[in-house]
Structure 1
Amino acid sequence: MSFPIRAITLDLDDTLWPFAPIGARVEQVLHDWLAANCPRTAAEFPILRMRELRDELNAQHPHLVHDFSAMRRMTLERAMQLAGDDPVHVDAAFEAFFAERNRVEFYPDTLAALQRLAARVPLAALSNGNADLSRIGVHVHFAFQLGAREHGAPKPIASIFHAACARLEVAPAQVLHVGDDIDMDVVGAHHAGLRTCWLNRENLAWPRDDVRPDLQFASLAALADWLDAQHQQEEVAA
């Protein structure tokens, strides 16, 4: 399929790197930090109980459901208060968590593909998560990063896609959104008027009849190949 693309918005977790290894590590790292620095909190709120507390607070504060960092801080503060530790430790505990959250292992094709894509069109990161591209070290490939926390609403709400397009100064129909999540990325971006690419690394079958992605690839490298071919066609036509 051929159509003009002047910018790309990219999801992060499970698009540039797998999230499961991060999710498995961060809670243990945080618990170990609490055990060393806030032992009463660690004893009263082991990993499973801390998850339950976070879920309870999520239910009580639905207006913050898109702000993972705020909810994590709130959970830590509440746990420390209930356990009898000083909440002055919240910032340091969060930093231990956040540093580990941003220790990612890229998919093998990611870094080279990002370089190739960024050489062709402006890239913007568009995520519901709280990864920090500066800490991770790939911010140089992106014009900007827009998260649900900063925007005030998460994908698949159309406004976050439109905000990214406005900052890119490119019409939605000429922006390609790339992500792994069927509803958040493909369906959300489609309804916002963007072109869509489903990054289907597991070779799954597309499950919907009402909406289909404009593109589907098993790797970011394959998308870079497609974009190179698009630009070569444009150069020939010119």
Structure 2
Amino acid sequence: MTISLITFDLDNTLWDSEPALIRADQAQREWLLQHRPGTIEHHDQSSLWEFKKDLWKRHPQLSHHVSQLRIQTLYELQRVAGYSEEEAQRGAEQAFKVFLEQRQAVELYPEALEVLAVLASRYRLGALTNGNADIYKTEAARFFDFAFLAEDVGASKPAPDMFLAALKHCDLKANNTIHIGDSPEHDIQGAQAVGMYTVWMNPAQQAWPGGESPHRVITNLRELPEAIASIAAS
């Protein structure tokens, strides 16, 4: 067996997503308060969540399109507030642009670039994410051969579509590939279901929730080259 491809989840695997998401939500809110008054002021976290859940039920076709889902939410918030279709559409796109700028301003884990440089010298690297993070907007861009979003393939992990798209793109079999991610369900179970080897990124040292165990577990990216080497050797 030869390991040729390493695929990565992004959020909470190569960086902590929470700081960027908090900044992005705040920037979006400030834009709405300034440019679309009446849209967001009366919503607290609970009522906004209910608004989003209702929207998700009415637009199930957007379940794997997180960017379009957010734009639709922004659009409908403005329409409910009395803005015209044109104003709401323009405002949704502009508010989302503000959100995405901060969303992409992630801070890689301190050891990430060093580890990725080592791995990229030995394997092809790919990114597989359910979100709208863009590896090519980060300092790690130069190490990655490709990136797929759930929006690209029309299905989110743990569905097999994204994993299979990576294998097809590289013309490889599943047992030539190792997937690294933080989610037991989306990353580990999803990748193993198509026959990939897996490494669970578990910095909080949580207990495995059950089901087929990952092939290796790491708590820091510095442990990853050794974990990959041990899988290949076995």
User: Normalising to structure 1: TM-score of the pair?
Assistant: 0.89
Q: Which residue of 2 aligns with 1:80?
A: 78
Q: Which residue of 1 aligns with 2:69?
A: 71
Q: Which moved more, 1:46-55 or 1:71-80?
A: 46-55
Q: Distance in 1 between matches of 2:194 and 2:100?
A: 31
- In the TM superposition, what whole-angstrom CA distance separates every residue of 1:131-181 from its partner, at most 9, and x where no partner exists? 012223422211111010000001001122111111022111110010010
Shift of 1:46: 5.2
Equivalent pair of 2:21/2:102 in contact (CA under 8 Å)? no
Correspondence for 1:94 among 77, 93, 96 = 96
For 1:95-110, list aligned pairs within 5 A.
95-110=97-112
After superposition, the Cα gap between the structure-2 partners of 1:149 and 1:49, relative to the gap in structure 1 and judged at 3 Å, is same
Q: Distance in 1 between matches of 2:22 and 2:6?
A: 30
Q: Which residue of 2 aligns with 1:153?
A: 155
Higher share in helix:
1
SS at match of 2:107: coil
Q: Distance in 1 between matches of 2:206 and 2:99?
A: 32
Q: Which residue of 2 aligns with 1:42?
A: 40
Q: Distance in 1 between matches of 2:23 and 2:45?
A: 11
Which stretches in structure 1 are left out of the alignment for 5+ residues?
Answer: 234-238
Q: Distance in 2 between matches of 1:176 and 1:68?
A: 26
SS at match of 2:206: coil
Q: Give the partner amino acid of 2:155.
A: A
Shift of 1:218: 1.2
Q: Which residue of 1 aligns with 2:170?
A: 168
Q: Distance in 2 between matches of 1:81 and 1:57?
A: 13
Q: Which residue of 2 aligns with 1:207?
A: 209
For 1:127-206, list aligned pairs within 5 A.
127-206=129-208
Q: Which residue of 2 aligns with 1:55?
A: 53
Q: Distance in 2 between matches of 1:146 and 1:205?
A: 29
Q: Give the partner amino acid of 1:117.
A: L
Give the number of aligned pairs: 229
Q: Which residue of 1 aligns with 2:221?
A: 220
After superposition, the Cα gap between the structure-2 partners of 1:124 and 1:186, relative to the gap in structure 1 and judged at 3 Å, is same
Q: Distance in 1 between matches of 2:139 and 2:63?
A: 27
After superposition, the Cα gap between the structure-2 partners of 1:230 and 1:177, relative to the gap in structure 1 and judged at 3 Å, is closer
Q: Which moved more, 1:146-155 or 1:215-224?
A: 215-224
Q: Distance in 2 between matches of 1:47 and 1:94?
A: 18
Q: Distance in 2 between matches of 1:23 and 1:131?
A: 10
Equivalent pair of 2:180/2:198 in contact (CA under 8 Å)? yes
After superposition, the Cα gap between the structure-2 partners of 1:117 and 1:206, relative to the gap in structure 1 and judged at 3 Å, is same
Q: Distance in 2 between matches of 1:174 and 1:100?
A: 35
After superposition, the Cα gap between the structure-2 partners of 1:58 and 1:230, relative to the gap in structure 1 and judged at 3 Å, is closer
Pairwise CA RMSD of aligned residues? 1.9
Identity among equivalent positions (%) equals 33
Which stretches in structure 2 are left out of the alignment for 5+ residues?
Answer: none
Shift of 1:52: 2.8
Q: Which residue of 2 aligns with 1:236?
A: none
